[in-house]
Amino acid sequence: MTDLETADPLALRTAMTDQLVREGTIRSTQVEAAFRTVPRHAFAPEAELSRAYAAHDAVSTKVNEHGISISSVSAPVVQARMLEQAEIESDMRVCEVGSGGYNAALMAELVGPDGSVVTIDIDPDVTGRARMLLDSAGYSHVRVVLADAENGLPDAGTVVSQVLED
């Protein structure tokens, strides 16, 4: 067993974040702080700790009947790039389409207590999983919506099949 496999989650999260900073993927102090705060392994319980914190690896969370991955927690490198490009700031209202939970938790850290995050997905397995994991990790204030994002958001007056608040 390697040191990486026996390390604790905080050490692995620190190493992953340090790597993304070194590589220049994480550039802002806000995104860095979010990555240092949110426990990625809490959103990828099906993965070994070393895999959950591998900066360039996605973690498959759902496979179809042929064993092909149809849902995943995106690689941290991808999420860091997207968050840096989005320039999310404190107090903003943000929406994520495609709900795994981890990215929504990162966004919740970025918007702070006076901002809001809505994460939306068409798959009830995905939204149910996101709701459970967000609650378990302390992000129950993130709104999880089961709907087709093509039709807009509930706040825009469109019909949503289900809102999972609790």
* Residues known to be catalytic: 74
Long-range contacts of 10-19 (CB under 8 A, 24+ apart): 12/41, 12/49, 12/50, 12/52, 12/53, 13/39, 13/40, 13/41, 13/53, 15/53, 16/40, 16/53, 16/54, 16/55, 16/76, 19/55
At 1 the three-state DSSP class reads coil
Two tokens, residue 91: 């107090």
- Quick one: DSSP state of residue 40? G
